[in-house]
Chains A and B, each alone.
Chain A
């Protein structure tokens, strides 16, 4: 059944190509059904046994080994299937059938990344998830040139190839790549080659996250992607790198991870502050969210490299939390754009009066993003900061607090710029959120509150990797 979570969406997506072009609405609802079905199946697989089929015997052992367990994989797959279902519900695009195909392929490929228990399978899905995003950027990007698509593709392909080379080298060194989720430390490597192998993995993870200074593909990509795909790319695809650091880095390269701490702290802190400051001055609302992601994900990098169990638990909570609220932000801002044909703060204003429901939705996700206690963002941040402090990184904790304050500023700036102020006369006046759009946002809001109130199950989930920390 876990394998079906990966294969079924991809096959369903490709099967949609056989529908007539006019079947846009049917395609959309098939996509929604597949996503939510995947969510329900994933939900019921808590702690399910792994599934494995032999792939390669030589030159190293590799298996089609998937597992969902009870750790980060489980929560991220839930996040992924939920956000992609919600995002598909509110999709309104030309050539929607083809778009749903890309979304479903992306859903399957990303699920594969998070359930793979074999490094080579991990690499396979890692590269595969590039393709639908590239195709979407080419076919739906508003710009005439394909610059954004190439930027996304080249950056991430370089990362993917580094990952591939590192995987091959790891396989030769260890004789197997079926090592993810194995007893932690059993395959831990150190010395000589392992540094270079880790460097290959780290490059891929840093680009995908992205971490400053490898982030330049991200704002363009998020701005050019249609809102539903931007939602799941920012919510989930960007977490693949952080997830990689947790399950590959901590478990297999503890020595190299320790050696990389100063560098990663430096990059994380720079990203944290740079992202926040950059978010403060963007005019494009999608770019605000993009730069805020850079800032938030920098915090998670600090958490992972602090080698503190509380911070690590907080990292997983914040991975899921950021996924929830950034998907919510992209969806609500996408609805603003769909109504007003612009997403520039300079043009927008005063929508709140006529669109109270939209304003309400944006309020909740913005508050989650700026870390209001009781919502999911706060739960992750407080755990991470506590863990960082406990691990002895005092001044780093203080520096990390600053962008959290700035987050309040830029999120409220977006909210104020879009919803408050005088109504702009020449903007089209459209209906408020439809019941369907409310329904699509509701699961995310519920999850935001639930995770904010009770982050415990998620925070304790990286227990299985904890031995790798000591």
Chain B
């Protein structure tokens, strides 16, 4: 084992690797300042514009690193294809969530909320490249702390319950994870993920550490049986925050999970250590979809749906094949668009003090707003894995990768889960197109802002195009140097 260096020379390249993360964090400060000094009517619009511009800039900067993998800060943050793809996913998800911000609380709360979302996103972006245990924890806590506040931002009792629940359970999970990290450090004497890959390490200490670490991650990914918090928190949090959480936390945690599974585990034992993870994925696919059946609130339904969808994504990693990783990333991207598209539709149906997420607010939508209903149907088709959407193509790719990795049982369960989920999604379709009473059809359509239409359009086009031209990023391996 090499002696740790006390003075590590960090050059410009190290800072450049972290630049996308820093940009987002600094733009959050600008948002707060703008919120302080701009006149009240302009505030929300200005904050959204600044935030989106900052995120877009960060996305562009992140792309500059493509093709130049670099282990910054002595390997603490590994920039490269994998990190960039996840950073872009976080950036796009954050932008799409920001488009929904007109339903977020009062005008004077929105600046702070948007800043918190940006900080949270920067945490997820840190996790995207984090290659040692310290950076992982740093990113995770940055992501989570901002979210605790965001969950409670609405002035409803459910929001406070949501925030408190998330705080308590998530801190517990973080504690588990931290303990796991401590054990891993004890077993290997290093916090670098690459140091865990030594071929001889398979002590009880190491295994328990891995288990605790993965449990913490499973909680963040809301995989069954660590999913119980998800529906309640999603329901209580304001709509844009729910939309944000549903993709960004998962992207961050998935990046860590993939890096850990692909890079850090000693290969002879990796499949045994990871087997529980595939079982957990299988459970998520079934339990998530069964849970979704009974939901009458779209946010809760999408929470359960997200549990199942993340199960599909983790199933793609089964066998830790190179193709599996690419398809997991592809499906995550597809999930981002179809899921956020559905959230954007809900945002358009929202009015003050009524988030439009009840199933009832969709009644007769096919006759009131045919285009919006068609878009929602399209997103639900995608979530259910039906053509011609990215969900369909993504699911075939996951099935293929699971089968070729020798996990045919996982593929079969994925199909079973999909069959169950169809009822949950098409219940909404039915509400939109079934012949309803005149009262429901007369319900006026007055969205708080036209901005979510942009989100609907972008997501619909992306969901269609990704289905017909699936771009699964290459160059995502290796994950550690």
Using CB atoms and an 8 Å cutoff, list the residues of chain A in contact with chain B: 14, 17, 55-56, 58-60, 64, 95, 98, 120, 123-125, 127-128, 130-131, 134-135, 138-139, 146, 149-150, 153-154, 157-158, 160-162, 164-165, 167-169, 171-172
Q: B383-438: which have CB < 8 Å to A?
A: 386-388, 392-393, 395-397, 399-401, 403-404, 408, 411-412, 415, 418-419, 422-423, 426, 429-430, 433-435
Inter-chain contact B387/A125, CB cutoff 8 Å? yes
Inter-chain contact B430/A164, CB cutoff 8 Å? no
Report the minimal beta-carbon distance from B415 to chain A, rounded to whole angstroms: 5
**Cα of A169 to Cα of B393 in the assembled complex, Å:** 14
Inter-chain contact B415/A162, CB cutoff 8 Å? yes
Report the minimal beta-carbon distance from B387 to chain A, rounded to whole angstroms: 4
Inter-chain contact A165/B415, CB cutoff 8 Å? yes
Inter-chain contact B387/A127, CB cutoff 8 Å? yes
Report the minimal beta-carbon distance from B254 to chain A, rounded to whole angstroms: 20
Contact of B399 among A14, A95, A131, A165 (CB under 8 A): A165
Q: Is B323 an interface residue (CB 8 A)?
A: yes
Contact of A134 among B392, B419, B426 (CB under 8 A): B426
Residue of A nearest to B431 (CB): A138
Instruction: List chain B residues, Cβ under 8 A from A139.
Output: 366, 433-435
Residue of B nearest to A145 (CB): B434
Inter-chain contact B422/A135, CB cutoff 8 Å? no
Residue of A nearest to B384 (CB): A157
Instruction: List chain B residues, Cβ under 8 A from A130.
Output: 386
Report the minimal beta-carbon distance from A173 to chain B, rounded to whole angstroms: 9
Using CB atoms and an 8 Å cutoff, list the residues of chain B in contact with chain A: 323, 327, 366-367, 370-371, 374, 377, 381, 386-388, 392-393, 395-397, 399-401, 403-404, 408, 411-412, 415, 418-419, 422-423, 426, 429-430, 433-435, 468-470, 472
Inter-chain contact A58/B387, CB cutoff 8 Å? no
Contact of A153 among B370, B408, B422, B470 (CB under 8 A): B422
Given A124-B392, A128-B388, A138-B429, A168:B434 Cβ within 8 A? no
Residue among B393, B423, B430, B468 with max Cβ neighbours from chain A (10 Å):
B430
Residue of A nearest to B373 (CB): A17
Residue among A14, A138, A158 with max Cβ neighbours from chain B (10 Å):
A138
Given A17-B371, A55-B468, A167:B433 Cβ within 8 A? no
Instruction: List chain A residues, Cβ under 8 A from B411.
Output: 165, 168-169
Other A-B pairs beyond A17-B370, A172-B403, 13, CB < 8 Å: A59-B323, A98-B366, A120-B396, A123-B396, A124-B387, A124-B392, A161-B415, A164-B395, A165-B411, A167-B396, A168-B411, A169-B403, A171-B400
Inter-chain contact A127/B392, CB cutoff 8 Å? yes
Inter-chain contact A172/B400, CB cutoff 8 Å? yes
Inter-chain contact A154/B422, CB cutoff 8 Å? yes
Residue among A17, A56, A58 with max Cβ neighbours from chain B (10 Å):
A58
**Cα of A154 to Cα of B366 in the assembled complex, Å:** 22
**Cα of A138 to Cα of B427 in the assembled complex, Å:** 11
Instruction: List chain B residues, Cβ under 8 A from A146.
Output: 430, 434
Report the minimal beta-carbon distance from A427 to chain B, rounded to whole angstroms: 26
Inter-chain contact A168/B396, CB cutoff 8 Å? yes
**Cα of A328 to Cα of B92 in the assembled complex, Å:** 53
Report the minimal beta-carbon distance from B472 to chain A, rounded to whole angstroms: 8
Given A128-B387, A153-B426, A60:B400 Cβ within 8 A? yes
Residue of A nearest to B323 (CB): A59
Instruction: List chain A residues, Cβ under 8 A from B401.
Output: 59
Residue among B408, B415, B429, B469 with max Cβ neighbours from chain A (10 Å):
B415
Instruction: List chain B residues, Cβ under 8 A from A55.
Output: 468-470
Instruction: List chain A residues, Cβ under 8 A from B327.
Output: 59
Report the minimal beta-carbon distance from A377 to chain B, rounded to whole angstroms: 35
Residue of A nearest to B370 (CB): A17
Contact of A168 among B400, B423, B429 (CB under 8 A): B400
Instruction: List chain B residues, Cβ under 8 A from A98.
Output: 366, 370
Instruction: List chain A residues, Cβ under 8 A from B367.
Output: 95
Instruction: List chain A residues, Cβ under 8 A from B472.
Output: 58
Inter-chain contact A124/B388, CB cutoff 8 Å? yes
Residue among B396, B470, B472 with max Cβ neighbours from chain A (10 Å):
B396
Report the minimal beta-carbon distance from B230 to chain A, rounded to whole angstroms: 25
Instruction: List chain B residues, Cβ under 8 A from A172.
Output: 400, 403-404
Inter-chain contact B399/A168, CB cutoff 8 Å? yes
Nearest 9 pairs of A and B residues by beta carbon: A168-B399, A124-B387, A59-B400, A168-B400, A172-B404, A161-B415, A139-B433, A128-B387, A165-B415
Report the minimal beta-carbon distance from B173 to chain A, rounded to whole angstroms: 33
Instruction: List chain B residues, Cβ under 8 A from A125.
Output: 387
Report the minimal beta-carbon distance from A106 to chain B, rounded to whole angstroms: 14
Report the minimal beta-carbon distance from A6 to chain B, rounded to whole angstroms: 11
Report the minimal beta-carbon distance from B373 to chain A, rounded to whole angstroms: 10
Residue among B327, B400, B403, B472 with max Cβ neighbours from chain A (10 Å):
B400
**Cα of A153 to Cα of B427 in the assembled complex, Å:** 12
Report the minimal beta-carbon distance from B325 to chain A, rounded to whole angstroms: 12
Instruction: List chain A residues, Cβ under 8 A from B468.
Output: 55, 64
**Cα of A59 to Cα of B426 in the assembled complex, Å:** 30
Contact of B403 among A14, A58, A124, A168 (CB under 8 A): A168
Instruction: List chain B residues, Cβ under 8 A from A154.
Output: 419, 422-423
Inter-chain contact A150/B423, CB cutoff 8 Å? yes
Instruction: List chain A residues, Cβ under 8 A from B419.
Output: 154, 157-158, 161
Given A127-B392, A172-B400, A149:B415 Cβ within 8 A? no
Report the minimal beta-carbon distance from A276 to chain B, rounded to whole angstroms: 32
Inter-chain contact A138/B387, CB cutoff 8 Å? no
**Cα of A14 to Cα of B323 in the assembled complex, Å:** 36
Provide a sorted-by-A list of 24 A–B residue pairs whose CB atoms are within 8 angstroms: A14-B374, A55-B468, A58-B323, A59-B397, A128-B386, A130-B386, A131-B377, A131-B386, A134-B426, A138-B433, A139-B433, A149-B430, A154-B419, A157-B419, A160-B386, A161-B415, A162-B415, A165-B412, A165-B415, A168-B396, A168-B400, A169-B403, A169-B411, A171-B400
Residue among A98, A120, A164 with max Cβ neighbours from chain B (10 Å):
A164
Instruction: List chain B residues, Cβ under 8 A from A60.
Output: 400
**Cα of A64 to Cα of B388 in the assembled complex, Å:** 12
Instruction: List chain B residues, Cβ under 8 A from A153.
Output: 422, 426
Instruction: List chain B residues, Cβ under 8 A from A150.
Output: 423
**Cα of A139 to Cα of B400 in the assembled complex, Å:** 36
Report the minimal beta-carbon distance from A157 to chain B, rounded to whole angstroms: 5
Report the minimal beta-carbon distance from A324 to chain B, rounded to whole angstroms: 29
Residue of B nearest to A157 (CB): B422
**Cα of A314 to Cα of B422 in the assembled complex, Å:** 38
Instruction: List chain A residues, Cβ under 8 A from B408.
Output: 169
**Cα of A95 to Cα of B434 in the assembled complex, Å:** 12
Report the minimal beta-carbon distance from B277 to chain A, rounded to whole angstroms: 21
Inter-chain contact B412/A127, CB cutoff 8 Å? no
Report the minimal beta-carbon distance from B414 to chain A, rounded to whole angstroms: 8
Inter-chain contact B433/A135, CB cutoff 8 Å? yes
Instruction: List chain A residues, Cβ under 8 A from B393.
Output: 56
Instruction: List chain B residues, Cβ under 8 A from A158.
Output: 419
Instruction: List chain A residues, Cβ under 8 A from B388.
Output: 124, 128
Contact of A164 among B374, B396, B422 (CB under 8 A): B396
Instruction: List chain A residues, Cβ under 8 A from B371.
Output: 17
Report the minimal beta-carbon distance from A252 to chain B, rounded to whole angstroms: 17
**Cα of A164 to Cα of B386 in the assembled complex, Å:** 10
Report the minimal beta-carbon distance from A137 to chain B, rounded to whole angstroms: 10
